[in-house]
Amino acid sequence: MSAQPLRIGIHDISFATAHQVLDLSELAEHQGIDVNKYYVGIGQSEMSMPAADEDIVTMGAEAAGRIIDRHGAEGIRTLLFATESGIDQSKSAGVFVHGLLGMGENCRVVELKQACYSATAALQFALGIVARDPREKVLVIAADVARYALDSSGEPTQGAAAVAFLVTADPALVEIEPVTGLHTDDIHDFWRPNHLSTALVDGKYSLAAYLRSLEGAWTEYQARGGVAFDDIDRFCYHQPFTKMAVKAHDRLNTIAGSGLDRDARRAQIAASLDINRRTGNSYTASIYAGLLSLLNDDEADLEGSRIGFFSYGSGSVSEFFTGVVQPGYRALLRRDEDAALLDSRVAIGYARYRSLHEAVDEVRGEDVVTARETTGPFRFAGITDQMRRYERTR
């Protein structure tokens, strides 16, 4: 009698974001345009804005801390930190998180980068580690701060958030299925040279590249024996802005020849858009913020549902894969806590937003002490002798 195949996937997932927020009505008023260009046109209502003492480490540690508080750190021998907002050219942001959370020294910690895709690379690496030894647990953190130049076309899509998830055997949330479809193309649709703190983007080209990459990944997924479109119940997409997920799902329906009407297509993705609509783009974290948003939907019981994931990172690398929601998944969710994180952010006006944006470029290699602003459990305390310092606040 053959052994049952090992089930591996996401055992728990948690979320964090910056503790200040700009409603896009403030930006629209400054620009003298109808706010519905943002609320409806790109599907965004707010952007999370990090204070001077917040960054990918503080958000990542806050998200991961919820998982450690629930499960403990024992058995987590790998921490993978996915980001395109790196804070050091050598040291992994994950090492800072490892220290803040007091994790054991017998742990490998690595930072991964490929635009918005790398959290999915981290997930796939984690699945391989657990497949080799089912006793292993892998903590994955995706955290980013999306920044574009002031008064640029990308400005309303800025944002910040982190998602952490624990990958184990016999997962309680989502079992990840083995078949994937991949697509890579060496292009310049979006990039950030070392000398810039803001990204450069060719907007129309990037949208076209995203959709072309979706077709390529889906085509290979099918060729490698993936399930049919009709066997997938819900979908999560990388969301540079939520309307992009809508466009992508319409395109996939066309490619797959599904025949679904507009309402049926929207129903497959609507719940996955809620968090990203309020945080803005979070690069590597956005697709998994979409997953959490979908799981948090209290109007649908997703037990046994299959979710299709399309992860895209400009430049470009993408992957299509699927996962199945597990029985009893709701017991692991933190709906009220997640809602409170969004609702408790401090609203700021345009002047404060602009000063925070401009301040990022002011410090270059100098010592700095940051004022305490965040209400989160971790903060960036400043730079001493060109070394970043972090501390717990509670």
Q: What is the pLDDT of residues 23-38, one digit of tens each?
A: 999 999 999 999 999 9
Q: Which one of the listed residues 11, 238, 249, 357 is annotated catalytic?
A: 238
d(CA 198, CA 234): 33
Please confirm, yes or no, whether 366 is among the known catalytic residues: no
d(CA 54, CA 392): 12
Please confirm, yes or no, whether 236 is among the known catalytic residues: no
| Distance from the first to the final alpha carbon of the chain | 53
Q: Predicted confidence band at 362 (pLDDT cuts at 50, 70, 90)?
A: low
d(CA 146, CA 158): 5
| pLDDT-above-70 percentage for the chain | 98
The tokens of 135 are what?
Answer: 């006793």
Q: Predicted confidence band at 361 (pLDDT cuts at 50, 70, 90)?
A: confident
293 vs 368, residue with greater confidence: 293
Q: What is the mean pLDDT of residues 353-361?
A: 90
pLDDT recorded at residue 3 = 62
Residue 69: pLDDT above 70?
yes
* 8-173+333-392 and 175-329: identical CATH topology: yes
pLDDT recorded at residue 304 = 98
| pLDDT-above-90 percentage for the chain | 92
Contacting residues for 63 by C-beta, under 8 A, at least 6 apart:
14, 15, 16, 141, 143, 162, 163, 164
Cβ(335)–Cβ(242) below 8 Å: no
Q: What is the pLDDT of residues 263-301, one digit of tens each?
A: 999 999 999 999 999 999 999 999 999 999 999 999 899
Q: How far is CA 198 from the centre of its chain?
A: 18
Q: Which one of the listed residues 54, 111, 116, 175 is annotated catalytic?
A: 116
CA angle centred on 379, ends 373 and 380, rounded to 5°: 100
Cβ(172)–Cβ(160) below 8 Å: no
Which CATH superfamily does the domain covering 8-173+333-392 fall into?
Answer: Thiolase/Chalcone synthase (3.40.47.10)
Q: Predicted confidence band at 5 (pLDDT cuts at 50, 70, 90)?
A: confident
In DSSP terms, which residues pair with 168 in a beta bridge? 9
Q: 175-329 belongs to which CATH class?
A: alpha beta
Cβ(114)–Cβ(174) below 8 Å: no
Q: Which one of the listed residues 46, 54, 62, 84 is annotated catalytic?
A: 84
On average, the pLDDT of the chain sits at 96
pLDDT recorded at residue 1 = 46
In DSSP terms, which residues pair with 236 in a beta bridge? 309
Q: Predicted confidence band at 203 (pLDDT cuts at 50, 70, 90)?
A: confident
Distances (CA, A) of 258 to 214, 217, 320: 16, 17, 17
Which residue in the block uniquely carries the two structure tokens 């292993």? 136
Domain range list for the chain: 8-173+333-392, 175-329
Q: How far is CA 156 from the centre of its chain?
A: 18
- Helix axes of 24-31 and 350-359: crossing angle, nearest 10 degrees: 90
Other CB atoms within 10 Å distance of the CB of residue 168: 23
Task: Give yes or no for a cis peptide into 316 (omega within 30° of 0).
Answer: yes
Please confirm, yes or no, whether 116 is among the known catalytic residues: yes
